Amino acid sequence: MNQSEHNKRQLVVIGNGMVGHRFLENLIDGGGLDKFNVVVFGEEPRAAYDRVHLSEFFSGKSADDLSVVKEGFYQQAGIELVLNRRIQQINRAEKTVIDTEGKVTPYDELVLATGSYPFVPPVPGHDRKNCFVYRTIEDLEALQACAAHCKVGTVIGGGLLGLEAAKALKDLGLETHVVEFAPRLMAVQVDDGGGRMLRRKIEQLGVSIHTSKNTQQIVDGEQAVHQMQFADGEQLETDLILFSAGIRPRDELARDSDIEIGERGGIVIDNQCRTSDRAIYAIGECALWQGKIFGLVAPGYQMAQVVADQLNETAQNEFAGADMSTKLKLMGVDVASIGDAHGQTKGALSYQFVDEEKEVYKRLVVSKSRKKLLGAVLIGDSDDYGSLLQMMLNDIRLPAEPAQLILPATNGEAPKGLGVAALPETAQICSCFNVSKGDLCQSVASGCQDLASLKADTSAGTGCGGCSALVKQVLDHELEQLGVEVKKDICEHFPHSRQELYHLIRVGEIKSFAEALNAHGGGHGCDICKPTIGSILASTWNDYVLDRNHAHLQDTNDYYLGNIQKDGTYSVVPRVPGGEITPDKLIVIGEVARDFNLYTKVTGGQRIDLFGARVHELPDIWKRLVDAGFETGHAYGKSMRTVKSCVGSTWCRYGVLDSVGMAITLETRYRGVRGPHKIKLAVSGCTRECAEAQSKDFGVIATEKGWNLYVCGNGGMKPRHGDLFATELNDEELIRTIDRTMMFYIRTGDRLQRTSVWMENLEGGLEYLREVILEDSLGLCEQLDEDMARLIANYECEWKRTIEDPEQLKRFRHFVNSDATDDNVVFVSERKQIRPALDEEKQQLIAIA
């Protein structure tokens, strides 16, 4: 050791989780390695990894993927990292720590980043085999190994971690149950209304929820490994139990060393994160500040920065508590909680918005004066989270009618919410790294003009990720103020808009997500870019969507080639081109519906939908339909759905052209074509418009002089009549015009953008579209023709391909290791057909069974 090394102070860090590692990064950034020799102890066999996204381990991410440590970090910094070793004693008098191997390490300053441990209720039987916690990668590996031999798994705990754990069990192919002591899920974060909506959405994903359940003991099961016995006399049989009933601070080292501990646990710290021993600091979930434990990563990062500043003798930051608002996606469900979500503040008023069709619940809690936002709950749609959070944190005055902040847009107008322009410079955008709006603005002004460079410069959005949308809004606003064109990057992993990615994939002949990521992106991808790239690949090459390179990009509907319904079953929708069907095919559909006991309905798109198919039944159902000549109707995809028609000149005395024949031609031509969103067409045989063509993306109406084409109409929440695009077209001209317009939309539409919004956003609107398609002003028409020809040539029925592939059929099972079915799906009879049982009906029928 040279003289300068000898003069350094000795810093020991106990704990190498996310917060402990963040402390080291902050220490290095502030020049701390000039003052300290650093030794870090970690109990686990690997360096710090991302616990926030731990469940992604079951979606294919490895331990290396989850690591938060840059390659060579400890070696380059000269930090000694000791893994797989626990500190068992602190000798405060001698300023040393002793590890489990008996080695003594001296310290001048000591940082406790020991985190927390999962709380396991002391229920008799809690230590039986097949009982797990959900905390480390080793826990997950053990869980995965056990699940391979189980059918049913149960999570005890319905909070944030519990629902994450439930997703893990579901991903492992188990029938999944969640048992919660409180009367609702996420009792700390959401109110009763939010809890009901959250429960409804999660139960639709096939997870059974049991609230108000007090587990008394766990004993041998009759049909499974365990039987959980509840205080109300009910029982639940399960093969595997996962405890996720909260966390407790790891404070035993401090407790044994006579450092002050809170009455209910936790190492007491002051505003500088010092413990009762001035040489010892505590950060993260082991620390107790003013009687509070902060169980989110962002407050831990703030503590890490405070201690690093103290040791670096730089800015004298203080820890002053942290906002516990949170936004996340649980099992695909958007959930956000802000401030006083329960309205417990004296005199508080609340506003609620419920959309049961879209399964959205929002609650706004405001002060008695209606001038200050106190809290909010958002279930199913959390887009307003960033704006509402900033209103609360910065005491921004509410509009005269606060309810409009959570109401949907009407008459084409955007909701009257808060724009980033109204935020003060001091507004904290990123709580993980304490980044203000002013910090972001300064970074943009200094040259960071894309999201990746802005994140790299400020670290905003690189922690829990909850502020990413707001960071992007600040970036866009500042760029517009500077007169810079704002790019519409789809996410942080691809610095490109959807339109740009389509071009890059087509021109570069990219055939997989991995190729796209390597060539034009970075990181591992996310829930935004994966399905977007998957859609673009399908729209460009029309390959089989369940190919091993594409299957992981699909959402649940595409993954199982069927629309999932509210009870976890699926719909079966065979294609009926133009609505024309033979009696023989009608009989086949009827026989399938009868034999599999499916609910049968004729739809507005002139198809016959069959509801109530369990996942294991789908291949058998589709084999019978395919054998009878049916194809998939693509009701599950962002693709061409249907072409509706009237009977036209064939039967109707008013019809002037064969609308059914043209509808069949169009539906057969465009089947399987995928785009930014679903696409619907209709053909009417005369101007009486019985097929309602003007409300479709492409509407065709017959006249005595040929076909009139309407474009960019749609139904839905915001109905829009299509615009008359071209008149008096013959059959060939009509098809060519639709080909080109559809392909131009596929090329230039934004992610999940309907044709109506797409055209409204085109500079020049309808007239510009006419110039491009009818006058070939961009010289693109020949390319558009070729692109459509390729899609048509590459079409194959996805269900026909699937039932011929034994490997693909393996996915259509309730459990990966068993042929058992889901007993939680319960139907009742109504109007001589089945329907999903209501909650109270289901409980009664299951109890009888």
Secondary structure, 3-state, 369-398: CCCCEEEEEEECCCCCHHHHHHHHHCCCCC
8 Å CB contact between 47 and 83: yes
Task: Provide the pLDDT confidence category of residue 2 given band limits of 50, 70 and 90.
Answer: very low
Which pLDDT does position 313 carry in this prediction? 86
Residues 769 and 669 in one domain: yes
Instruction: Say whether both 82 and 148 belong to one domain.
Output: no
Q: Considering only 60-64, 392-396, 404-408, 628-632, which range has the smallest mean pLDDT?
A: 60-64
Q: What is the CATH number of the domain that holds 762?
A: 3.30.413.10
**Beta bridge pairs of residue 131:** 241
On whether both 138 and 261 belong to a single domain, the answer is: no
**Band (5; pLDDT cuts 50, 70, 90):** low
CA distance 613 to 599: 9
pLDDT 10s digits, 635-666? 989 999 999 999 999 999 999 999 999 999 99
Has residue 715 been placed in a domain?
yes
**pLDDT at site 706:** 96
Q: What angle do CA 155, 159, 163 make, to 5 degrees?
A: 50
- Residue 409 has a pLDDT of 58
Q: Is the pLDDT of residue 248 over 90?
A: yes
Write down the residue that tokens 């579209």 correspond to: 769
Average pLDDT over residues 726-735: 96
Instruction: Report whether pLDDT(816) > 60.
Output: no
Average pLDDT on 601-626 reads 93
Q: What is the pLDDT of residue 1?
A: 45
Tell me the average pLDDT across 87-95.
95
Angle of helix 529-541 relative to helix 498-507, nearest 10 degrees, comes to 50
What does the chain come to in residues? Answer: 849
Q: What is the mean pLDDT of residues 409-420?
A: 50
Please provide the average confidence, as pLDDT, over all residues in the chain.
Answer: 89
Identify the domain boundary among 744, 760, 793. 793
Q: Is residue 830 part of a domain?
A: no
Q: Do residues 205 and 59 share a domain?
A: no
Task: Answer yes or no: is pLDDT of 460 > 90.
Answer: no
The verdict on residue 814 lying in a domain is no
Nearest to 224 by CA among 268, 297, 262, 175: 175
Highest mean pLDDT (candidates 68-72, 480-484, 644-648): 644-648
Task: Supply the pLDDT for residue 651.
Answer: 93
Residues 47/16, Cβ–Cβ less than 8 Å:
yes
Report yes or no on 433 lying in a domain.
no
The pLDDT, as a whole number, for residue 553 is 86
491 within some domain: no
Scored b (16 or more CB within 10 A) or e, 668-702 reads ebbbbbbbbbbbbbbbbbbeeebbebbbbbbbbbb
Which pLDDT value is given to residue 528? 84
Residue 415 has pLDDT above 50, yes or no: no
Of 793, 817, 833, which marks where a domain is finished? 793
> What's CA 463's distance to the chain center, in Å?
17
> Between vectors from CA 331 to CA 809 and to CA 375, what angle results, nearest 5°?
165
Confidence of residue 716 (pLDDT cuts 50, 70, 90): low
The model's confidence at residue 414, banded by pLDDT at 50, 70 and 90, is: very low
Residue 181's CATH number = 3.50.50.60
DSSP assignment string, 406-462: TSPP-TTPPP----GGGS-TT-EEETTTTEEHHHHHHHHHTT--SHHHHHHHH-TTS
Q: Can you give 408-422 as a three-state secondary structure string?
A: CCCCCCCCCCCCHHH
Span 780-799, mean pLDDT? 95
**Distance between CA 64 and CA 761 in Å, rounded?**
43
Q: Is residue 358 part of a domain?
A: yes
The helix (run of H) or strand (run of E) holding residue 700 is strand 698-703
Average pLDDT for 161-165: 86
- The pLDDT value recorded for residue 275 is 97
- Does 797 carry a binding-site annotation? no
* 581 shares a domain with 671: yes
Same domain, 139 and 238: yes
Mean pLDDT of 415-433: 72
CATH number at residue 396: 3.30.390.30
Specify whether 82 is located in the same domain as 172.
no
Gap between the Cα atoms of 475 and 812, Å rounded: 44
Predicted confidence (pLDDT) at residue 325 exceeds the cutoff of 60: yes
Is the pLDDT assigned to residue 429 strictly greater than 50? yes
Of the candidates 734, 730, 768, the one whose C-alpha atom is nearest the C-alpha of residue 748 is 768
CA distance 710 to 727: 9
DSSP string, 25-90: HHHHHTTGGGTEEEEEE-SSSS--B-STTGGGGGGT--HHHHB-SPTTHHHHHT-EEE-S--EEEE
Nearest to 38 by CA among 52, 51, 20: 20
629 shares its domain with 755: yes
277-286, 442-451, 542-551: which is most confident: 277-286
% of the chain residues with pLDDT over 70: 95
Residue 454 lies in a domain: no
Rounded to two decimals, the pTM is 0.59
Is 690 annotated to bind a ligand? Reply is yes
* Residue 106: pLDDT over 90: yes
Return the amino acid letter for 722. Answer: G
Residue 517 shares a structural domain with residue 585 = no
User: Is residue 404 located within the same domain as residue 507?
Assistant: no
Tell whether 278 and 214 lie within a shared domain: no
Question: Residue 417: is its pLDDT beyond 60?
Answer: no
What is the CA angle 347-349-353, rounded to 5?
165
Q: 2 vs 459, which has greater pLDDT?
A: 459
Beta strands per DSSP E along 93-174: 96-99, 104-106, 109-112, 116-118, 131-133, 152-156
Close Cβ partners of 127 (under 8 Å, ≥ 6 residues apart) = none
Residue 488 belongs to a domain:
no
pLDDT, average across residues 194-217: 90
Tell me the pLDDT band of 501, cut-offs 50, 70 and 90: very high
Number of structural domains (the chain) is: 5
Q: How far apart are CA 747 and CA 674, in angstroms?
A: 11
What is the structure's pLDDT at 91?
96
Residue 695 pLDDT greater than 80, yes or no: yes
Q: What is the phi-psi region of residue 194: left when phi exceeds 0, alpha when psi lies from -120 to 50, beta otherwise?
A: alpha
Q: Are residues 613 and 695 in the same domain?
A: yes
pLDDT at 413 > cutoff 70:
no
| Integer Cα distance of 352 and 331 in angstroms | 24
Q: pLDDT tens digits, residue range 519-533?
A: 999 888 887 899 899
CA distance 43 to 253: 13
Residue 6 CA from chain centroid, whole number: 51
Least confident segment among 84-88, 404-408, 538-542, 792-796:
404-408
> What pLDDT sits at residue 412?
40
Contact between 538 and 782 (Cβ < 8 Å): no
Q: Structure tokens of 215?
A: 């587990």
Considering 554, 583, 599, which residue would you say is the last residue of a domain? 554
Residue 745 has pLDDT above 50, yes or no: yes
Could you tell me if residue 61 is left (phi over 0), alpha (psi between -120 and 50 degrees) or otherwise beta?
A: beta
> Is pLDDT at 838 greater than 70 in this prediction?
yes
What is the rounded distance in angstroms from the CA atom of residue 821 to the CA atom of residue 596? 14
Q: Take residue 450 and report the two structure tokens written for it.
A: 């894309």
**Pair 471, 451: CB distance under 8 Å:** yes
Domain hosting residue 548, numbered range: 498-554
